[in-house]
């Protein structure tokens, strides 16, 4: 054991053995002065001074190595010998802050930071409860982190959620120089993919949204025609829209990919309606709602799905969520007739804010009134007009309609919450599935959706249903290799059978739904 001088390095090194294994460590002491040919010889004064400093550093390291100090202290000594600086000790309560302070090329979103902070705070709370004697991060061992993760698993979280806890824990502990989670591997996930909507289901959703949620109708059309995510739909800007060329060009919020999307006629119509409303955003009401309550859009869309006949999985009540389309001008006229004086002015201000898509509480905050006052004004206006103005208000129904379409959620094999099968993001799956089934090249689909690889598109978004696969195979393969022994009915035959078997005793809604289905089948038939 002793000092080592390397020809190609300006640093002193120390050689020593532990349990028969030899180590050579950089002592972080710089060699100064004129070097001798061999360490057996003497060098200049400056050289000998640096030799003395290096020997002192080596002696300090050897004292730690051969002492009865803990494994943690030995690791700290080696870290200090390597880096030339003391290992910073963090308190357990600082784990969240360690993750926040990590240098990044791009700062995490506010929502992501909030989620990660919540998960790391849960870890800190668990450690404080079950291991109160552990106060520093460097005292953590794999058994402590594994115990927390086991507790998560026992609570019923999915493998995906389990992984979402593990990743920031690894990040924070690695930055603190603590290997407690280094050997813990992520779990295999059992992803439940969203189901695409059929063309008939899309039309039903559009009709339900038109009747109950005009804002959601606009966003639904945008998502269905462009495959854009909810946030990108809400914050679509006029600079991204080229009405002359018929294209939308956006940089996706999630992947940062710039995509060009042809403008469908139905979407063009919705965009034209928005001209002059806002200088920046195409859909200013949606942008404002997303900023104040991003989950509110998802909640309102689920209510539209319920109106369209999708199964919520809950017992359907004797009430319905009804919202009549009312323009600001129409309600202003009703206010002129039904109210007077200062109250008329107050009701007008409430209605003008509420019709932008804000809820009762945000409207109250914006107008300076109490929520109960806002609610009272809107209820009085409903009584005066006979219109269902208040969104989310349940109203009595004469008959409880049964679900006529698929489930919105399904149970997981593991996990507390049900997995979503049909929600706003299903528009993205729908676009990919319909485009590929109709023959659009995969690379074009990938460019429109903004995915970096075709694998992601095929793995997560291409979800054809059985009937779509059967029809595609029937149209593409020779009869010998298809189900030609059981001939598929043409759209005309299917429509005739639906109309022939109509039951006139069913409700008006069910009767109209069957007629619409028959008409939809006939729309694709050329005469």
- Write b or e for each residue in 226-237: b if 16 or more Cβ atoms lie within 10 A of its Cβ, otherwise e: bbbbbbbbbbbe
Average of pLDDT values for 308-333?
73
Encode pLDDT of 40-95 as tens digits: 888 999 999 999 999 999 888 888 776 644 555 555 665 566 556 666 778 999 99
d(CA 123, CA 255): 29
- 391 or 223, higher pLDDT: 223
- The per-residue pLDDT for 414 is 64
Lowest mean pLDDT segment, chosen from 49-58, 85-94, 179-188, 278-287: 85-94
No. of helices (H) and no. of strands (E), the chain: 22, 10
Is the predicted pLDDT of residue 459 greater than 80, yes or no? no
Task: Please give the mean pLDDT across all residues of the chain.
Answer: 81
Highest mean pLDDT among 13-27, 229-243, 390-404, 423-437: 229-243
Instruction: Indicate the pTM of the whole model.
Output: 0.52
DSSP 89-130: P-BGGGHHHHHHTS--SSPPPHHHHHHHHHHHHHHHHHHHHH
- The per-residue pLDDT for 190 is 65
Lowest mean pLDDT segment, chosen from 95-99, 206-210, 224-228, 446-450: 446-450
- The per-residue pLDDT for 194 is 81
Give percent above pLDDT 70 in the chain: 79
- The per-residue pLDDT for 68 is 42
């Amino acid at each position: 054991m002793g000092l080592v001088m390397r020809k190609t390095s300006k640093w002193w090194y120390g050689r020593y053995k532990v349990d028969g294994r030899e180590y050579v460590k950089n002592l972080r002491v710089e060699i100064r002065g004129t070097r001798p040919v061999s360490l057996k010889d003497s060098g200049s004064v400056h050289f000998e001074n640096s030799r003395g400093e290096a020997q002192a550093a080596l002696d300090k390291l050897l004292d730690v190595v051969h002492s009865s100090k803990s494994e943690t202290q030995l690791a700290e000594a080696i870290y200090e010998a390597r880096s030339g600086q003391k290992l910073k000790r963090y308190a357990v309560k600082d784990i969240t802050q360690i993750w926040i302070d990590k240098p990044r090329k791009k700062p995490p979103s506010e929502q992501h930071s909030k989620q990660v902070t919540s998960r790391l705070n849960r870890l800190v709370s668990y450690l404080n409860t079950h291991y109160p004697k552990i106060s520093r991060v460097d005292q953590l061992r794999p058994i402590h982190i594994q115990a927390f993760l086991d507790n998560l698993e026992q609570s019923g979280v999915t493998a995906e959620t389990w992984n979402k806890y593990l990743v920031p824990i690894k990040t924070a502990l690695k930055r603190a120089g603590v290997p407690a989670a280094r050997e813990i591997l992520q779990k295999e996930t059992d992803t439940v993919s969203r189901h695409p909507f059929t063309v008939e289901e899309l039309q039903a959703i559009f009709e339900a949204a038109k009747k109950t949620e005009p804002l959601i109708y606009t966003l639904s059309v945008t998502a269905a025609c462009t495959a854009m995510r909810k946030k990108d739909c809400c914050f679509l800007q006029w600079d991204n829209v080229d009405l002359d060329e018929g294209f939308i060009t956006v940089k996706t919020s999630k992947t940062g990919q710039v995509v060009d999307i042809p403008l469908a006629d139905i979407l063009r119509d919705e965009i034209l309606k928005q001209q002059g409303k806002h200088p920046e955003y195409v859909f200013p009401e949606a942008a404002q709602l997303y900023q104040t309550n991003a989950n509110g859009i998802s909640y309102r869309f689920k209510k539209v799905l319920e109106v369209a006949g999708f199964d919520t999985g809950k017992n359907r009540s004797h009430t319905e969520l009804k919202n009549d389309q009312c323009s600001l001008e129409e309600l202003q006229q009703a206010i002129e007739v039904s109210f007077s004086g200062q109250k008329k002015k107050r009701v007008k201000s409430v209605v003008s804010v509420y019709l932008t898509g804000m809820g009762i509480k945000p409207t109250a905050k914006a107008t300076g009134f109490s929520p109960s006052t806002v609610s009272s004004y809107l209820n009085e206006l409903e009584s005066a007009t006979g219109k269902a103005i208040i969104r989310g208000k349940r109203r009595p129904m004469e008959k409880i309609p049964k679900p006529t379409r698929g489930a919105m959620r399904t149970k997981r094999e593991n996990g507390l919450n049900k997995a979503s099968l049909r929600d706003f993001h299903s528009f993205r799956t729908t676009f990919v599935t319909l485009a590929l089934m109709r023959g659009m090249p995969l690379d074009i689909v990938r460019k429109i959706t903004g995915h970096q690889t075709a694998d992601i598109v095929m793995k997560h978004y291409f979800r054809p249903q059985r009937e779509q696969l059967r029809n595609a195979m029937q149209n593409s393969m020779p009869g010998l290799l298809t189900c030609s022994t059981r001939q598929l009915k043409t759209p005309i035959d299917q429509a005739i059978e639906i109309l022939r078997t109509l039951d006139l005793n069913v409700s008006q809604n069910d009767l109209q739904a069957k007629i619409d289905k028959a008409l939809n089948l006939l729309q694709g038939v050329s005469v």
